[in-house]
Amino acid sequence: MFHRKKIVYVLLLPGMIGILAFYIVPFIGGIYYSLMDGTFENNFVGLENYQRVANNKMFQLGLKNTWELSLWSAPAIWLLAFILSAMLKSLKNHSVMFRNVLLLPYLMPSSAMLLIWLIMFDYGGVINRLAVQLGFERVLWLEEDALRVPIVLLYIWKNLGFSVVLFSSALTAIHPSLYEYASLEGAGWWTQAFRITLPQIRPTAFLVFVLAWVNAFKIFKEVYFIGGAYPTEAVYTLQHYMNNKFAKLEYQDVTTAAYMFAVGVMVLFALMYASKAVRAPAEN
């Protein structure tokens, strides 16, 4: 650790200039935008923009959809990742290979995967075949409300591995003697999972949950690829609203919406940051 070295300001300079120019100035500039009316005179209008955007039908729709899509995908990823990493742990040294396979989709470009996705979820496709085999009706997966299913599944397919890796590293840190003692006492797999594993990894579990949620707010690529800039109502996300307003050069609305969204994300982030307090005793 270097103390009171002036050279740090020189070394930090290039990075800080960039962060300032491309992130912090726009971030602060956004607040300015959202408080002005954007006309030639550019008057200060206070919270008027916020009021207008909040009352906008498309904004409400986007907010609702983004919220609901994340409500589907984040818990699903969390639960699946927990179960999978618990299973991986019982595989011992075989687990590495499987974990890496689970991570592979994370690197795959979504747009390249879309084609096969559309074939699988076609009305005559393999998913519907499976549904009929299991005694269900065929579903028009690629239209209206049902379109959410392929989108959420594509998102889960791509992001599951990330959470599994986080969970797995927490799981392997649990001392094995705890389990040995539990099995001597006759505790089964289920009891062990919920009485030992879950309490032991609680801080990580919480973090994975918040991270999965914050990231699920960013679902856009997948929807954009399937539905374009104006997808069916059921999957019109907040990001669509912002991008479309942007295309119409209505910057005030874009930034105002963005800030309202950002506040929501930051509340989650505050929770995540607070979880450090939860974490600290476990580490010491």
Partner 1 sequence: MKRRIRYSRREGKLTLGGKLSFVLVFLLCLLILIPMVFTFLYSFFPKTEIEAYLKSRGNYDSSQWMDILYSPAQFSLRQYYKILIEEPTYLQLFCNSAMYTGAILLGQALIIPLTSYCLSRFTFWGRDAIFFLILILMILPFQVTMAPSVTVLRWLGIMDTVWAVILPMCFSPFYIFLLRQFMAGIPNELLEAGMVDGVGPIRGFLHVILPVCRPILGAAMALSFADSWNMVEQPLVYLANKQSLQPLSVMFNQISTERADVAFAGAALYILPALFVYFFFQEDIVAGIQLSELK
Residue closer to partner 1 by CB (options 47, 126) is 126
Residue closer to partner 1 by CB (options 102, 234) is 102
Handedness of CA 149, 153, 159, 165 (dihedral sign): positive
Q: How far is the CB of 233 from partner 1 (least distance, A)?
A: 20
Residue closer to partner 1 by CB (options 57, 92) is 92
The 3-class SS string of 212-226 reads: HHHHHCCCCHHHHHH
Q: What angle do CA 73, 75, 78 make, to 5 degrees?
A: 105
Q: How far is the CB of 249 from partner 1 (least distance, A)?
A: 9
Q: Rg of the Cα trace of the chain? A: 23
Q: How far is the CB of 200 from partner 1 (least distance, A)?
A: 15
Q: How far is the CB of 247 from partner 1 (least distance, A)?
A: 7
Q: Write out the H or E segment, with its range, that includes residue 154.
A: helix 148-172
Residue closer to partner 1 by CB (options 67, 251) is 251
Residue closer to partner 1 by CB (options 123, 136) is 123
Give, in order, the Cα–Cα distances in Å from 121 to each of 11, 66, 69, 161, 202.
52, 22, 18, 22, 37
Give which of 108, 91, 110 is closest to 99, Cα–Cα.
91
Q: What is the largest CA-CA distance in the chain?
A: 78
Residue closer to partner 1 by CB (options 75, 114) is 114
269-277 contact pairs (CB < 8 A, 24+): 269/210, 269/214, 271/210, 272/206, 272/207, 272/210, 272/211, 272/214, 275/203, 275/206, 275/207, 275/210
Rounded Cα–Cα distance for residues 254 and 239 (Å): 9
Q: How far is the CB of 55 from partner 1 (least distance, A)?
A: 20
Residue closer to partner 1 by CB (options 142, 234) is 142
Q: How far is the CB of 204 from partner 1 (least distance, A)?
A: 7
Q: How far is the CB of 274 from partner 1 (least distance, A)?
A: 11
